[in-house]
Amino acid sequence: MSEQHPGFETLAIHAGQDADPNNGAVITPIYATSTYLQDGVGSPRQGYEYSRTRNPTRSALEKCLAALEHGARGLAFASGMAAEDTLLRTLCKPGDHVVIPDDAYGGTYRLFSKVAEPWGVAHTAVHLPNVDAVRAAVRSRPTAVVWVETPTNPLLAVADIPALAEVAHESGALLVVDSTFASPYLQQPLTLGADVVVHSTTKYCGGHSDVVGGALVTADAGLGERLAFHQNAMGAVAGPFDAWLVLRGLKTLAVRMERHCDNAERVAAFLQAHPKVGQVLYPGLPDHPGHEVATKQMRRYGGIVSCRLRGGAAAAIEVCERTRLFALAESLGGIESLIEHPGRMTHASAAGSPLEVPDDLVRLSVGIETIDDLLDDLGRALG
């Protein structure tokens, strides 16, 4: 590998993953151990004393994620929500105020509205593509964090990361970016001014719909250390097998994302030309309101396509139930294609809130199957 600036694919395969010094194993083993032999009282080997605090498989994943995001410290958790909760309780205390997206991931909104709010952390939901609205919300009261998700789930709104970093920093707030939809391959928020990146590694990082996990990567080593303290103190860590699955997923992230993007672009074009589809939401389409910003800050536009059906909720539900290759399921980012109705499924918890999604909306996680088979399936389901 080029010693100076290894490329993304090289880092994904090698960063934090030196061959085992004892036996030469090329692939990081699953260290299924809770504790470690100490050579003397208080002398753990290589700093490993208990696996909630540190585990070699998890350490390899954490180093790899930090390298891919150009961060100082990576931390792996039991789920994306565990990562978010640990971050929230590290950055905020009762009395603080946070700005969140007006179409945040449903679980994130639930964390802020049902857990953080009763604890004393207030939030304001803002349409993040509107930078002036974010500035006004940040200035209206002392704000600890501007929490960004881009692209958003399920409406694919795009937020301008450098502009929002400036808005947050001029008021002394930190900028957090949930970059799950982009994955570390398509967008690296820390290089654009963000302080912390959040991933649900359940999605593209793992990439095979066989693990639930989360991650944080910080730009600053000091903040990384504070988060590591809370990770250990609160204990929502990724187990060794889960860490290993995500580490394995990362090795093929670049090639998978290229194919996800190829297929999603074809699906978006197909849906846009279909008479039963009213609107296609995909940042890769030139008429998408976030297209220009996405082009500046993303390598490509991702594998998620949402659309609104002219026939309303009934038509949206019917399409979801008629596809065969696109499986009707929550989650996203795996090699297989999935379809869902956000209003009744992933975002049901946002019903009646400012984050409610339209009921004629269908979300597709476009997999890496043969594109002609995917288009045939959608064509048949749309009738």
Ligand X SMILES: *Cc1c(COP(=O)(O)O)cnc(C)c1O
Query: Could you tell me which of 99, 157, 208 has the C-alpha nearest to residue 361?
Result: 157
Triad 375, 379, 380: Cα angle to 5°:
120
Active site residue 105: yes
Q: Tell me the closest approach of the beta carbon of residue 222 to ligand X, in angstroms.
A: 25
- Considering the rule CB under 6 A, would residue 270 count as an interface residue with ligand X? no
In the list 59, 200, 231, 365, the residue contacting ligand X (rule: CB under 6 A) is 200
Binding mask 162-191 for ligand X (x = CB under 6 A): ----------------x-xx----------
- Considering the rule CB under 6 A, would residue 206 count as an interface residue with ligand X? no
In angstroms, the CA 306 to CA 338 distance is: 12
Binding mask 23-42 for ligand X (x = CB under 6 A): --------------------
- Number of other CB atoms surrounding residue 118 within 10 Å: 9
Beta partners for 309?
277
Binding mask 67-96 for ligand X (x = CB under 6 A): ------------xxx---------------
- Considering the rule CB under 6 A, would residue 364 count as an interface residue with ligand X? no
Binding mask 207-236 for ligand X (x = CB under 6 A): -----x-x----------------------
Q: Tell me the closest approach of the beta carbon of residue 330 to ligand X, in angstroms.
A: 9
- Considering the rule CB under 6 A, would residue 51 count as an interface residue with ligand X? no
Query: Could you tell me which of 23, 17, 50 has the C-alpha nearest to residue 233?
Result: 50
Is the Cβ of residue 198 or residue 277 nearer to ligand X in the bound state?
198
Q: Tell me the closest approach of the beta carbon of residue 212 to ligand X, in angstroms.
A: 5
Residue with smallest beta-carbon separation from ligand X: 80
Active site residue 203: yes
Q: Tell me the closest approach of the beta carbon of residue 236 to ligand X, in angstroms.
A: 10
Is the Cβ of residue 59 or residue 180 nearer to ligand X in the bound state?
180
Count of residues in contact with ligand X, rule CB under 6 A = 16
Is the Cβ of residue 206 or residue 240 nearer to ligand X in the bound state?
206
Q: Tell me the closest approach of the beta carbon of residue 331 to ligand X, in angstroms.
A: 7
Of 31-39, 103-111, 134-142, 229-237, which segment contacts ligand X by CB under 6 A? 103-111
In the list 149, 265, 360, 377, the residue contacting ligand X (rule: CB under 6 A) is 149
Q: Tell me the closest approach of the beta carbon of residue 213 to ligand X, in angstroms.
A: 6
Active site residue 322: no
Residue that has been written with the tokens 């989360």 in this structure: 214
Is the Cβ of residue 135 or residue 341 nearer to ligand X in the bound state?
341
Active site residue 52: yes
| Catalytic position from the list 160, 178, 195, 360 | 178
Three-class DSSP labels, the chain: CCCCCCCHHHHHHHCCCCCCCCCCCCCCCCCCCCECCECCCCCEHHHCCECCCCCHHHHHHHHHHHHHCCCCEEEEECCHHHHHHHHHHHHCCCCCEEEEECCCCHHHHHHHHHHHHHHCCEEEEECCCCHHHHHHHHHHCCCCEEEEECCCCCCCCCCCHHHHHHHHHHCCCEEEEECCCCHHHHCCHHHHCCCEEEEECCCCCCCCCCCCCEEEEECCHHHHHHHHHHHHHHCCECCHHHHHHHHHHHHCHHHHHHHHHHHHHHHHHHHHCCCCEEEEECCCCCCCCCHHHHHHHCCCCCCEEEEEECCHHHHHHHHHHHCCCCEECCCCCCCCCEEECCCCCCCHHHCCCCCCCCCCEEEEECCCCCHHHHHHHHHHHHC
- Considering the rule CB under 6 A, would residue 150 count as an interface residue with ligand X? no
Q: Which residues are catalytic?
A: 52, 105, 178, 203
| Residues binding ligand X (CB under 6 A) | 79-81, 105, 107-108, 149, 153, 178, 180-181, 200, 202-203, 212, 214
